[in-house]
Structure formats: C-alpha cells, structure tokens
Chain A
C-alpha cells in the first residue's frame, strides 16, 4: 500500500508539518477560546435583557443571531454560553487528566497489588454509563457548577488512567528507568522527570479527546435540565430553553447546536491532523 504524501502542507513550523484541515480546526478552537475569555467585553447586549418585542425573532441587523424564547439577544447568550461550556469542561478535564495520569504512572511504576486494586476499581467505575452517573449525582446532591466539574472529572478519570497507564508501562521497561531505580530515585522523580516527558505528547492528545467527551456530556446534562441551572446557561441549556422554536427552525435553537458541533468537530479534526510526531510518540 502506498502512503499518501501529506497534502495541503502550509508551513514547516518548528519542524512540524501542519495541514489545512488542522489549521482551520485550530482557528475554530482558538476562536471559541477567545470568545469565552473576552465574553463580557464583546457581547453587544446584556445577557438577561429582553430587547426584542417578538420571541424567536429571525436574524437581522442589530440582532445578528435572532432572539430567544423571551426575546433576549441570542448572539450575547451564545458568547456567554461559550464561557460556561468551555470553562466548566476545561476545569473538569484538567482535574480528570491530572488525577488519571498521576495514578496511571504511579500504578505502572509500583506494579503489583496497588496496580491491580486501582485498575479493578477504576474499571468497575468505567462500566457505569457516563450519563447515568451524572444523573445519579445530580439526583443526590443537586446541580451546581462545582458539582458538575467534580462529577465529570470523576467520570473521566478511569479512561485517562487506563490510557496513561498503558503508555507508562511501556516506558517503565526501558533501561533508563532501571538506571534511575538503581540510582535510588523516588516515585515522584520517576514519574515526573523520567516517565512523564516521554508520554506527554499522546497524553495531551488524549486530553483533547476527553475534553470533547466532557463537552458532550455537559451539554447532554444541561439539555436534560440537570446541568447548568438558570440564570446561567451553557450551550446545552440554550438548546433546551429554545427547543420550542424547533418546529419553525428558529435560529435560537440552531445556533447553539452549531456552536457545540463546531467546537467538538474541530477538536476531533485538530487531533486527527496533529503532526504524527506529537500524536504517536511512544504510543503502544
């Protein structure tokens, strides 16, 4: 089988080849990140202000994305929604991946009983469907932003653990780890300075994918009315609020759906098109 030459190569930036799809998806991700960061400075109207006489208004100058079911400006609400969707997911994915990766590397280095017990427990957790877990926690303690962040990070720790453990086990058999062990290095040094630098590429790619899962789960919960609660609204909650506009194809329900899709699809495509060097370094 012939391997295709990379098409659409734009630049050789720091030795990595970047293609067009990767660049476009990177721009979309960057765009939403900026929207989330700058939200209070760029929204044309106040998020809560009812400025349209009509509800589910169409797109028109001044109300570029139409109005929602209470006549509020959809553009402002979507920009602020980015803040909740991106912010909550980012916080959750950071906790999940940090915990998962540290546990995974520790298990790989220690091996034996610790490895077995942790792996079994996290595998069991992995067999609770994620949406169900979310529903149960919300039923138990109610929904608030810190609860959402913690729940979603707990849900995605097992996956991150499994992935990083598999990578770390491979590295653990290398000679330089043996040398470090003989030198008498302790666990924190072994995982932080010997193993982590060798698996950081795939771990970051995995973090991106897990971010997508978390965005999907968060939007799903919010859509069910069990995620971000009013007066705040993330993109999932925006779709839920405006679902009544669906039969007349109101922009208020289409735009937040498109926002979610553009973010998640872009991240997936970006990771698919990452330079091979970053993505597959020492992958199993």
Chain B
C-alpha cells in the first residue's frame, strides 16, 4: 500500500511557506505605510533637505514599496535586521540575548506544564463525572476565560502578598544562586503554566473522552476491564495523536502569554522589547520582533498539524 504521509507533510510545509510569505507581507506593509518620513525621523527636524534626501537614497526609501519589501526580506535572510530608530543600535544586537531569555522562559514553562497538563487531563477523563473531574473542568474554564494579566495579578496576590513566598513585581535578576534563579523565574513560569495547561487539559480530556465513546472501548468495558486499564491501555494509544496536536497548539498560547507576562514582571525578554518598541514607534525593531513571533507561532501550529498526520494510523 502506498503511504500518503510524505505528500501530506510536504503539502502542509508548502502551505506554511505561503502563509509565512503573506504574513511577512502584512508585517512589512502594516509598519511601513504609515504617516511620517523615516529619514526625517532619523535625522531630526533640524536636518538639511540635502541630508534627508541623501539618507533617503541610501536607505532605498524613494524606491517602490514592493522593492523595499524584497530588500527587507533579503536583509532578514542575511541576518541584517536593520538599525533601531530609538538608539541607533543594530536590531540584531538588541534582540540576541533577549531572544534567549524568552526561549528560556518558554522552555521552562513547557517542561512544567506538559507533564502537569497531561496527568490532569487524562485522570480527569479517567474519573469522568466525579467531583475531581468537575473541579478540574471548572478550574480550566475559569482560567481560560480570564486574561493573562488577571492570572498574573492573582498569582502575585496569592504567592507574594498573602503567602509571602516570592517577591512581588519588582524582581531583581540575581541568578547567581539556584534559589535566586528559582525565585526570579517562579512567578512568570507559574503564570504562563496556568494559561498553557488549562488549554492542554481541556483538549487532552476531550480527546480521551472521544476515544472512550468508540465500540472497542465499550467492548473492553463489557469484558470487565477496570477503569484505569480501560483508559491507559485501550483509549490512550488512540488518543495520542489528538493529544500531541493539543500540546503543540496550547504551546502557541505562549506567544500571546509572554507579551503580557514579560511586561508585568519586567522580564528582559523579546516581548518586553517589542512592547517598548511599540510605545516609541521604533519600526525596524517592531518588524523584527513581529517576524520572530510569527515564525514561532507558525512553527508550533505547523508542528501540531504534522504530528497529527504522523500519528494517525489510518494514514500509514
């Protein structure tokens, strides 16, 4: 039998590539077609018209927008992200270390939230319609329905104000000792974990329950298999594909989550950089940050789709 998997995956990657092109187009034009002349902004109001005209030619500003778009894309591929308007530093230097910080935060959150969410989701499905399941379900609905900053402020209230375990908002990043590291990362990671896990728990629970409604699970039930055996041995293997899909999809929530969390906890990551760039209207910086976020997001949702294709036994 011929397998359709490679062609399906190639097709998905192709769609991702087209999407990326459209997205970069959108990012570029959203940020370039605005009022205000870049050369004037860079040189200030007192610059001579000749200097402005010179800079415009040097920056290709008097060429058509479509051409500038290509220069920009080529620059991106060569690692030239442009120069920040605000402090005349290359964008790449500004982003470098901060990107690493954000990735650290995202990685830690993934490490904490995936095992936690899978355990809660699967056990909730296993003991469906018990008090435990109801509590998990209501808690996840509650967390999904509130904005990230409400989760963050509640976490601060509980852990910093009432329990006094962790420092509140003003975190000094003293990461010399392990305890210091733990304290610095605890609040942002807790906040992000809540949001990411809530999504993942819901989807995992739904996926397991879906397979529980199939005839072969009913067969196992009639055979007299215990409830945990029913779920772990019979339902779970077939729910793996939607669960893997759910994990990747929920992780894309991180993209929106870090923007809020880095701002509220003053974390020196790339999202904070972008929010600051928006307030100063520093366009090259905004463009690069936006592209990084879009690529990350697209990577995660494409992975989710590919995992779903790979783990679907009917396609093999």
Question: Complex Cα distance A226/B277, Å?
Answer: 12
Q: Which residues of B contact A121 (CB under 8 A)?
A: 22
Cβ of A198 under 8 Å from chain B: no
Q: Which residues of B contact A125 (CB under 8 A)?
A: 22, 26
Whether the Cβ atoms of B259 and A137 lie closer than 8 Å is no
Query: Given B18, B145, B259, which contacts A132 in the complex, CB threshold below 8 Å?
Result: B259
A130-147 interface bits toward B, Cβ cutoff 8 Å, 1 = contact, 0 = none: 111001111111000000
**What bracket does the count of chain B residues touching chain A fall in?**
35 or more
A196 nearest CB across to chain B (Å): 28
Report the stretch among B58-66, B174-182, B278-286 that lies at the interface. B278-286
Interface Cβ pair total, 8 Å cutoff: 143
Q: Considering the complex of A and B, which 5 residue pairs feature the smallest CB-CB distances, nearest first?
A: A124-B22, A264-B145, A139-B278, A265-B145, A131-B256
Q: Which residues of A contact B260 (CB under 8 A)?
A: 131, 220, 223-224
Q: Which residues of A contact B233 (CB under 8 A)?
A: none
Q: Which residues of A contact B74 (CB under 8 A)?
A: none
Q: Told that A220-B148, A243-B264, A260-B147 touch, could you supply 8 new A-B pairs with CB distance under 8 A?
A: A129-B297, A131-B255, A131-B260, A135-B259, A136-B31, A225-B279, A236-B149, A246-B161
Whether the Cβ atoms of A265 and B141 lie closer than 8 Å is yes
Cβ of B224 under 8 Å from chain A: no
A-B contact pairs, 16 of them (CB 8 A): A1-B212, A124-B19, A127-B301, A132-B256, A137-B30, A138-B278, A139-B286, A141-B34, A212-B145, A220-B147, A220-B256, A223-B264, A224-B259, A243-B169, A247-B156, A257-B154
What secondary structure prevails in chain B residues at the interface with A?
A: helix
Cβ of A239 under 8 Å from chain B: yes
Q: Which residues of B contact A20 (CB under 8 A)?
A: none
How many A residues face the partner with a CB closer than 8 A?
Answer: 46
Q: Which residues of B contact A267 (CB under 8 A)?
A: 145
Whether the Cβ atoms of B161 and A260 lie closer than 8 Å is no
Question: Complex Cα distance A264/B146, Å?
Answer: 7
A212 nearest CB across to chain B (Å): 6
Please list the residues of chain A having a beta carbon within 8 angstroms of any beta carbon in chain B: 1, 4, 120-121, 123-125, 127-132, 135-141, 212, 216, 219-220, 223-226, 236, 239, 243, 246-249, 253-254, 257, 260-261, 264-265, 267-269, 272
Please list the residues of chain B having a beta carbon within 8 angstroms of any beta carbon in chain A: 15, 18-19, 22-23, 26-27, 30-31, 33-34, 129, 141-142, 144-150, 153-154, 156-157, 160-162, 168-169, 212-213, 252, 255-256, 259-260, 263-264, 274-275, 277-279, 281, 283, 286, 290, 293-294, 297-298, 301
Q: Which residues of B contact A127 (CB under 8 A)?
A: 19, 23, 294, 297-298, 301
